[in-house]
A and B are shown apart, each in its own frame.
Chain A
Amino acid sequence: MLSRESSAALMGAVTAFIYKEARLQDEHAYEAWEALWTDDGIYWVPANGDDIDPEKEMSVIYDNRSRISLRIKQLLTGKRHTQTPQSRLRRLVSNIELLDEQASGDISVASNSMVFESSLRDDTIWAARNEYRLRYVDGELRMAYKKVILVNNEKALFTLSFLI
């Protein structure tokens, strides 16, 4: 159990991390965003519910670290047509909470987010519950896990080719 002082300090560090991640995503800072991940990172956007088994059922995104890297490489080619021109994005992140500590020592965090996307098709609003596992690596916070639970993940979704 963290003391009140250390908990407040951790909350400050975690909040700063999540705000930074949001800004890097909004501004398509692909390489800087990729650098936030640990070597064992998992980036998961379930479909058809919040707690499906991604090893058995289809997810919108279920990237291990190497596929995260491939996704970024594709965006960096500048020929990922659905991001040429890039979506204009701004997201609000709120309700950041520290959850129970993981046995592994990873820090469990949850937040809500709402993203406004303006693309060639139209303007689209995305809303999600985000769950993170963060870890200190060489004194810096990193993401080991990010799960994005879209509010409308049971419905037919428009193309989602930016970093959610």
Chain B
Amino acid sequence: MNVVPRASQWGELIRPDRVHGSLYSDPAIFEAELQNIWYRIWVYVGHESEVPNANDYVVKSIGPQSVIMTRDEQGKVNLLLNRCSHRGNQVCSYDRGNARSFTCPFHSWTFANDGRLVGYAFPDGYEGQDKSKLALGRVTRVQSYRGFVFGSFAAEGPTLEEHLGGAAETIDRLVRFSPEGEVEVTAGFLKHRVKANWKFILENECDGYHPAFVHSSIFGVADSAIGKLYGGASTAVTRDYGNGHTEIDLRPEFRKRDAPMSWFGTTEERLPDYTARMKAAYGDQKAREIMIDGTPHVMIFPNLFIAEIQMFVIQPLAVDDSVQHVTALQFKGAPDMNRRLRQQTMGSVGPAGLLLADDSEMYERCHRGVLARIPEWIFLGRGERRERRDELGFKVGHVTDEIPSRGIWSHYRSLMEKP
């Protein structure tokens, strides 16, 4: 169609139990998503632990745009656009480093790591210019939640807490796995590119219907108990937190097993140092509960996926081109646990991962598939008649139900309808 729908028309493309295939393939809709989602709402950018020291920086992104996350001399985290205010040249060419300032290689304009223009070459000729109006572009609002740094280009709108809503609790649940209560992002990222629309990735993260089929090759040979979590008999649930945030809550299954560290396929005995630190930090009973429940499996809309042991950041580059940035979660004060987290993450995700390579194959095949014109619609009705509300009022359903996709599209529609 190549025409962005008017506000009143999104309902023709997004219905309660189905969405139109053009939503994944129309370049005009992709451009509208950049404006209405990526350049407006809160988007995850990076983690404070990636810039631990004054003057550290790391290059991140919001959609296709390059964003420099810096920690300035005052210790404040800034999100700066990688674009010289003079002629638009990228001021930063390295992925990470430590620098008080960035000097544009084109005409030698120099910017402090908080974005201020501090000097230009041959200053005569610039008489009367106000340097403060020539700073690097900044992401308008920057806020952290437990070390996770989010940015929004909108000057006004919901606070980060309002955006996260009930899903904030999943991040609280995650950081408890550090005996010091902090996640660290220190292992470097694998960057996995797929020729597919970003929303195929987004929806797949909490789709509990596919693992039994897409991952049967590894479940069959790896002696893994993961496969059983996603079967028809599973008591795990899917949850729609609103605002596009979705979860697969595996706690019912892990509580049935009643074995600490079973969620990670191991035992307390095999991680004695970690277990001791957790018990010292939380007390025996609380530590036992934490280690039985396991970490969350949550997709924070639109781009932060916490997948038990790893973190994904979804980056859209074009309507049919996306990158999954993925790293092992690391828990502060847990060296023996962290080594296992890295080993398991390297095995399962990234371009050669035993799990994710097959998911990515599905995204690409779906993308090519929706280019076919008929039957036009993507059907999302699984479990519609057995949805229920949990004790906090969030919609939940069976682990294989499509509550997450329906929740994502409902929120998507509300964002796209806003002028």
Using CB atoms and an 8 Å cutoff, list the residues of chain A in contact with chain B: 45, 47-48, 52, 55-63, 67, 70-71, 73-74, 77-82, 120-122, 154-161, 164
Tell yes or no: B346 within 8 A of A by CB: yes
Other than the known A58-B187, A120-B365, what 4 A-B pairs have Cβ atoms closer than 8 Å?
A56-B187, A57-B187, A62-B346, A156-B192
Query: Is the Cβ of B193 less than 8 Å from the Cβ of A58?
Result: no
Tell yes or no: B393 within 8 A of A by CB: no
From the candidates A73, A79, A121, A158, name the one contacting B351 in the complex (CB within 8 A): A158
C-alpha spacing A53/B143, complex, angstroms? 32
Tell yes or no: B217 within 8 A of A by CB: yes
Complex interface bits, B352-364 against A, C-beta within 8 A gives 1, otherwise 0? 1010011011101
Write out the residue numbers on chain A whose beta carbons fall within 8 Å of the beta carbon of B217.
Answer: 74, 77-81
* Known contacts A74-B217, A160-B352; A57 and B188 CB within 8 A of each other: yes
Query: Is the Cβ of B191 less than 8 Å from the Cβ of A157?
Result: yes
* Known contacts A47-B188, A80-B217; A159 and B351 CB within 8 A of each other: yes
B219 smallest CB distance to A (angstroms): 10
Query: Is the Cβ of A161 less than 8 Å from the Cβ of B214?
Result: no
Most buried by B among A52, A59, A82: A82
Using CB atoms and an 8 Å cutoff, list the residues of chain B in contact with chain A: 95, 186-195, 214, 216-218, 220-222, 323, 326-328, 339, 342-343, 345-347, 350-352, 354, 357-358, 360-362, 364-365
* Known contacts A60-B352, A62-B346; A159 and B188 CB within 8 A of each other: no
Write out the residue numbers on chain A whose beta carbons fall within 8 Å of the beta carbon of B187.
Answer: 56-58
Write out the residue numbers on chain A whose beta carbons fall within 8 Å of the beta carbon of B192.
Answer: 156-159
CB-CB nearest in chain A for B191: A156
Query: Is the Cβ of A82 less than 8 Å from the Cβ of B222?
Result: no
* Known contacts A70-B222, A121-B364, A156-B193; A58 and B357 CB within 8 A of each other: no
Write out the residue numbers on chain B whose beta carbons fall within 8 Å of the beta carbon of A79.
Answer: 216-217, 220
C-alpha spacing A24/B343, complex, angstroms? 27
A126 smallest CB distance to B (angstroms): 10
Write out the residue numbers on chain A whose beta carbons fall within 8 Å of the beta carbon of B186.
Answer: 56
From the candidates B189, B218, B358, B362, name the one contacting A48 in the complex (CB within 8 A): B189
Query: Is the Cβ of A74 less than 8 Å from the Cβ of B190?
Result: no
Query: Is the Cβ of A158 less than 8 Å from the Cβ of B339?
Result: no
C-alpha spacing A78/B191, complex, angstroms? 26
C-alpha spacing A154/B350, complex, angstroms? 13
C-alpha spacing A62/B188, complex, angstroms? 14
Write out the residue numbers on chain A whose beta carbons fall within 8 Å of the beta carbon of B221.
Answer: 70, 73-74, 77
Query: Is the Cβ of B190 less than 8 Å from the Cβ of A82?
Result: no
From the candidates A120, A157, A164, name the one contacting B364 in the complex (CB within 8 A): A120
Write out the residue numbers on chain B whose beta carbons fall within 8 Å of the beta carbon of A47.
Answer: 188-191, 350
Query: Is the Cβ of A159 less than 8 Å from the Cβ of B342?
Result: no
Query: Is the Cβ of B345 less than 8 Å from the Cβ of A159?
Result: no
Query: Is the Cβ of B346 less than 8 Å from the Cβ of A58?
Result: yes
CB-CB nearest in chain B for A55: B339
From the candidates A60, A63, A158, A161, name the one contacting B190 in the complex (CB within 8 A): A60
C-alpha spacing A47/B191, complex, angstroms? 9
B167 smallest CB distance to A (angstroms): 26
Query: Is the Cβ of B216 less than 8 Å from the Cβ of A61?
Result: no
A131 smallest CB distance to B (angstroms): 18
Query: Is the Cβ of A80 less than 8 Å from the Cβ of B364?
Result: no
C-alpha spacing A81/B355, complex, angstroms? 10
Query: Is the Cβ of B354 less than 8 Å from the Cβ of A154?
Result: no
A121 smallest CB distance to B (angstroms): 5
Write out the residue numbers on chain A whose beta carbons fall within 8 Å of the beta carbon of B216.
Answer: 77, 79
| Pairs across A and B, CB under 8 Å, 7 listed | A55-B339, A62-B346, A77-B221, A81-B361, A120-B365, A157-B193, A161-B361
From the candidates B222, B342, B362, name the one contacting A81 in the complex (CB within 8 A): B362
C-alpha spacing A105/B360, complex, angstroms? 42
* Known contacts A58-B342, A79-B216; A160 and B351 CB within 8 A of each other: yes
C-alpha spacing A55/B342, complex, angstroms? 8
CB-CB nearest in chain A for B310: A58
Query: Is the Cβ of B351 less than 8 Å from the Cβ of A157?
Result: yes
A135 smallest CB distance to B (angstroms): 25
CB-CB nearest in chain B for A48: B188
C-alpha spacing A79/B362, complex, angstroms? 13
Most buried by B among A61, A62, A77, A81: A81
C-alpha spacing A162/B280, complex, angstroms? 45
Query: Is the Cβ of B357 less than 8 Å from the Cβ of A161?
Result: yes
Query: Is the Cβ of A74 less than 8 Å from the Cβ of B218?
Result: yes
B199 smallest CB distance to A (angstroms): 18
Write out the residue numbers on chain B whose beta carbons fall within 8 Å of the beta carbon of A154.
Answer: 95
